[in-house]
Amino acid sequence: MLMSKHKKNQAGGNRILISVTVVGSAGPIRFVVNEKELVDFVINIALKSYAREGRLPVLGSNVNDFVLYCPVIGTEALKAWEMIGSFGVRNFMLCKKPKTVVDGGDDGGKTVAVGISRKSSGSWKAWFNKSLNLKVSSH
């Protein structure tokens, strides 16, 4: 029986512990995946873990709205079909994809990337107090 488990691990690849930091969240999410899993699968697992832990801000569950970066490798997003173990690193960043809109200006229309906007309603202290008020329940 021990031999069959060992062969199964060899066929499926090694399992690795990775850390995914979500932009705007308090800390990284850590979980174990097979090194041969695709980036798309890792994003899905990260979103599910994030939601299960009840973290803020709420992200949603659509894998296509997010990209995974490896800050050590470069500034380009990882391709969805690449294997997570092929990069040789264990730390990643999960970000929402920038939204694009078509600008119908004077030149007939061009695609413009719109960054993730923050609704600034004051300082970080106001945001912190507001988030505390959401968690405190009154009797």
* pTM exceeds 0.75, yes or no: no
SS3 32: strand
Sign for the CA dihedral angle at 34, 16, 21, 95 comes to: negative
Q: What confidence tens digit (pLDDT) does each residue in 96-113 have?
A: 987 766 655 555 555 544
CA distance 137 to 25: 22
Within 13 A of 54's CA, how many CA atoms are on the CB side? 2
- Please state whether beta strands 91-96 and 15-22 pair in parallel, antiparallel, or not at all (unpaired): parallel
Q: What are phi and psi of 47, to 5 degrees?
A: -65, -40
Alpha carbon separation from 60 to 22, 43, 44 (Å, rounded): 12, 12, 11
| Structural fold of domain 2-98 | Ubiquitin-like (UB roll) (3.10.20)
Q: What confidence tens digit (pLDDT) does each residue in 57-97 have?
A: 888 889 999 999 998 888 889 999 999 999 999 999 999 98
What residue spans of 21-123 are helical by DSSP H? 39-52
